[in-house]
Structures are given as C-alpha cells and as structure tokens.
Amino acid sequence: MRELREFLMNRAKNSRVLVVGDVMLDRYYFGKVTRFSSEAPIPVARVVGTRLSLGGAANVADNLALLGCQTSIAGYVGNDQNCESLQELFTKRGIDWSGLVFTDNPTTTKVRIMSGHHQMFRVDFEDTSPRPDADVEKLLSYIHRRLNESLDAIVVSDNEKGVVTEFFCQRLIRDAHEHGVPVIVNPYGENWIKYSGADFLTPNIARLNRVLLEPIAVGDDEATERAAKYVMRKFNIANVLATRSGDGVTMVTEENKTTHIRTIEQEVFDPAGAGDTILAVFGMTLAGGRAPEDGAYLANLAASIVVSKAGTYAVSQEELVKMLA
C-alpha cells in the first residue's frame, strides 16, 4: 500500500497520457418541481442551478489530470458555444486540448434536467455520421506527432460517436506499437474487431455480454474469466480488465494469470462515469510502469468513490491516496 501511495504522490506526475475518443460536454440544470404544466401532463422544473462537466473521453482526461498526469486529449468538436465551454474546462484542469479537430458537426453535448438527485429528462446534441477523410487524417497526424514527442500510454474512450472507427483504431494501435506505447481501450458496441491488437480492454459486464454467445452474470467469477479469455482469443486482445459493478473487477493477462479484486462496499448513488474513472486510473498506473494488477486494484478503489457521487465525477489524487491509507 505504501508503494502505491508513493507512486500516486510522486511518479504519477511524470506520466504522459493521451486520451483519444468521443469528447463530450455534460450540462446539468437543477430544478424544483412544484406543479404540472397546463400545456401537457408533464412536470415543470424551475431552474435553481446549473453545472458543466466533462463527459466521455473528456471525463477520462479530467480524471487523469486530477490524478496528476500530464494529460492531453484528441477528438472531434464543433465550432460552437459548447466547445468553448469544453476549452475553458480543459484549460482550468491543465489539459492540453491542441488535439481537438474542429468539424462542421456539433460538439457532442448531453443536457440533463434534474429534480433533486433524480434525472427527469435528457437532451442530446450529436452527429455520429462518418467524418470526412481530411478530419480523420488531421486526428491521426496529431497522434503520430505526439508519439514522436514521447508518450507513456494512449487510452481510447469509445462511445460510438464517430471517432473510433475500425480504420482509425487500427492505424492508432499500429502507430502506438511502433513507438512502444501501450493502448488501453474502453470498448463499445459489438464490432470489437476494430480493437484487434490492443494491449488492454476494460469492458463492464453489460458491454462484454454484447459480444458473447451467451450472457454471463456479474457475480460469476468463472464465467467472467472464461468470457475474458474468449474475447482475448477472438479479437486478438492481449489483456482484459472486466469491471463487475458491486463485485469488483477481474484481471486476465496474456500470461494466463487471473486476479479477482472485490469492491469496497459503498452506497451506490450514481454509477455514471465509473467506467471513465477505471480507464483513467488503470491507464495512469500502466503509464507509470506499475503492474496491471496494481492498476486493477487502484481502478477498483477509485470506482468505489465515483459511484457514491451524483453525475459524472473525477477522482482526485488526494482522494485516492486517502482511500489507500
């Protein structure tokens, strides 16, 4: 434990991590519901507060920055107010956002209407259509340039919003491996062929079940291990960190070593963003040269903090050090 605390306090700040994926902004409107509309049978929320936070790949970067890493981000945004809000939040966190590629599509944004701690409604601004080849090449060129400058890890946050296509992902993995840089991916959807060659995948059980012949239960250790090995064989993945909600995480490595790590019991307030935190903490640990099992342990610990918070939440270095103590 002391070694991990020292790592967090001293070595994490030297880790250079690039986050690639679907950059999002989360807007929250907090209201009080006191009546129903006269126009339709719907509640009316009087807004009493607002909050902006980083979502998707941006939330992963937020977690890495708060953990003390030298963090940069690459993805697509639009020329709009939501992008300006993202840039302000990135600058405040010390995140290098020079890898953002401006497109004709809107910045992916989720607007949530909240009453107390409950979400009443959500509005999404997004366009997931294929990006022009010129935009794809701009993004790949930036990543190649950063690899030449030196990186310790690339983490890929895929939410199927237009960034992580099969062509793009395979180019990224190939370029990263040519520079000896590990690639850690949080997968999405059913086309996991595009992640072929990745060093680590960090799926939760729900996402894992989408590519299995038969779904597995969250609490089944043996089934989770078999599922991870199946994914490793079928999609040519070196290692898998399967996240299992209240049952912790399971790490299966290319050396055929399996480690089950139980979660710390917490009251689950909101699981949103837990996968982003796991991806960030695990990526940070690998970038710092620690063993995958250390990364799995720290990621599981960090996730137990996130689920006790409302909305997306980035865990700070101080919080994680305190948990270790």
Q: What is the pLDDT of residue 204?
A: 93
Cβ atoms of 75 and 101 closer than 8 Å:
yes
C-alpha 293/C-alpha 299 separation (Å) is 10
C-alpha 122/C-alpha 314 separation (Å) is 21
Is 22 labeled as catalytic in the residue annotation? Answer: no
Say whether 319 sits in a helix, a strand or coil.
helix
Average pLDDT score over the chain: 90
Which of 168-182, 210-224, 253-267, 310-324 is predicted most confidently?
168-182
Domain ranges of the chain: 2-24+55-108+127-324
C-alpha 246/C-alpha 304 separation (Å) is 9
Closest CA to 165 of 137, 204, 202, 145: 137
C-alpha 300/C-alpha 281 separation (Å) is 9
Whether 283 shows a pLDDT value over 70: the answer reads yes
| 106-145 pLDDT, tens digit each | 999 999 998 887 888 899 999 998 899 999 999 999 999 9
State mean pLDDT over 207-211: 95
The partner residues of 73 in beta bridges, in order of sequence, read 19
CB contact set of 86 (below 8 Å; sequence gap of 6+): 23, 25, 54, 58, 77, 97, 100, 107
State mean pLDDT over 47-60: 93
Whether 41 shows a pLDDT value over 60: the answer reads yes
Cβ atoms of 54 and 64 closer than 8 Å:
no
- Give, as one character, the DSSP assignment of residue 210: T
**Gap between the terminal Cα atoms of the chain:** 8
Q: What is the pLDDT of residue 250?
A: 94
Structure tokens at 256: 């055929």
| 163-194 pLDDT, tens digit each | 999 999 999 999 999 999 999 999 999 999 99
Q: Which of 137-151, 194-208, 227-241, 243-257 has the lowest mean pLDDT?
A: 243-257
Of 96, 135, 158, 276, which is the active-site residue? Answer: 276
- At 271, the pLDDT band (50, 70, 90 cuts) reads low
Q: What is the pLDDT of residue 219?
A: 86
Q: What is the pTM of this model?
A: 0.91
Closest CA to 20 of 280, 274, 288, 310: 280
Determine the Cα angle at 108 with ends 105 and 112, to 5°. Answer: 140
Whether 268 shows a pLDDT value over 50: the answer reads no
Q: What is the CATH number of domain 2-24+55-108+127-324?
A: 3.40.1190.20
CB contact set of 122 (below 8 Å; sequence gap of 6+): 110, 111, 112, 113
What is the percent of the chain where pLDDT is above 70? 95
Structure tokens at 264: 């710390």
Whether 102 shows a pLDDT value over 80: the answer reads yes
- At 305, the pLDDT band (50, 70, 90 cuts) reads confident
Cβ atoms of 183 and 279 closer than 8 Å:
no
Closest CA to 315 of 301, 302, 296: 302
Which of residues 308 and 303 earns the better pLDDT score? 303
